[in-house]
Structure 1
């Protein structure tokens, strides 16, 4: 009789593990709350956590580069930061804007020096893709916007810094 329950158990565990298998996903471990002033150096490009400015970046769509130190603080609050190489064509940019439309905990901005055309970063997680219409971007957003790695889930994504570099 114990064997009859095994398939049900596996099915249940698989259903609870939604989006766990995002191909190309990289994860990192960072302690939260490390507030510092000035320009900081990060292990990932773009960053996926770590020390950051005491002020956060207001969530939204930007057409200029953001200060990494403010954006990282927003990720600590549960934001996903979608970055793209400057010069992305209008159609690709429109796809990314549609992807983040209506999502209150997202940042979208160009980012100089990306090694792939598009990157999605959250606190402790990152996904790099070649095309703005890659379905894994939505899966990443669904999992990590206010997701399980967020140290300060529900903290504000407004009332902070709103300028670009």
Structure 2
């Protein structure tokens, strides 16, 4: 009986460790939510991962033109994940990204000028940049951060607001 008692905490510890696995290459940042401003804003990261943003959020969905940072950041505050790619990314890779977000209601997908890697995936306070659309870390990031704990207003709407592009 003593052996069983000693093994149970070890099993719990092992299960906890599996659930808290980090995704290699993810950078994290600290931003407070709720800072609504008007006009064009400057962000420390590209694409941005938090900070001041427009009072309207970007409607979640797939876009073939770049989005305004200020609206997309508000969507991330609501728990959305913003998947961006270089405008010259091969169409087959863009199609892979579309499949990745298909059926997910809190995602944005759009081209983004000036990326230092072909693909970037961002959530409130977190970002990962990769070379290929088939990188398995993209799905892991989506699974962890879409409606994830880092979003200050997780669960707030991701539709019914701003739907325009640049």
Q: What TM-score range do you get, normalising by the shorter chain?
A: over 0.9
| Distance apart, 1:114 and its partner CA | 0.3
- Taking only aligned residues, the RMSD between alpha carbons, in angstroms, comes to 1.2
Count of residue pairs the alignment pairs up: 163
Unaligned runs of 5+ in 2: none
What's the CA shift for 1:5? 4.3
Instruction: Give 1:11 shift.
Output: 1.2
Instruction: Please list the CA deviations of residues 7-33 of structure 1 after superposition, one character each: whole Å capped at 9, or x if unmatched.
Output: 32321222332xx32000011110000
Q: Which runs of 4+ in 1 moved over 4 A?
A: none
Unaligned runs of 5+ in 1: none
Q: Once the two structures are superposed, what CA deviation does each residue of 1:18-59 show, in whole Å capped at 9, x if it has no partner?
A: xx3200001111000000001111111100000000010000
TM-score normalized by the length of structure 1 = 0.95
Larger radius of gyration: 2
Mapped pair 1:162 → 2:133: no
Matched residue, 2:113: 112
Answer yes or no: is 1:149 the counterpart of 2:150.
Answer: yes
TM-score, length-scaled by structure 2: 0.94
Shift, 1:6, TM fit: 5.0
1:67-146 mapped onto 2 (5 Å cutoff):
67-146=68-147
User: Which digits, 9 at most, give the CA deviation of each residue in 1:59-109, with x for residues without a partner?
Assistant: 000000000000000000000000000111110010000000000000000
| Mapping 1:13-32, distance limit 5 Å | 13-17=16-20, 20-32=21-33
Task: Measure, in 2, the Cα distance between the counterparts of 1:124 and 1:23.
Answer: 16
Q: In the TM superposition, what is the alpha-carbon distance from 1:154 to its structure 2 partner?
A: 1.0
Pair 1:12 & 2:15 matched: yes
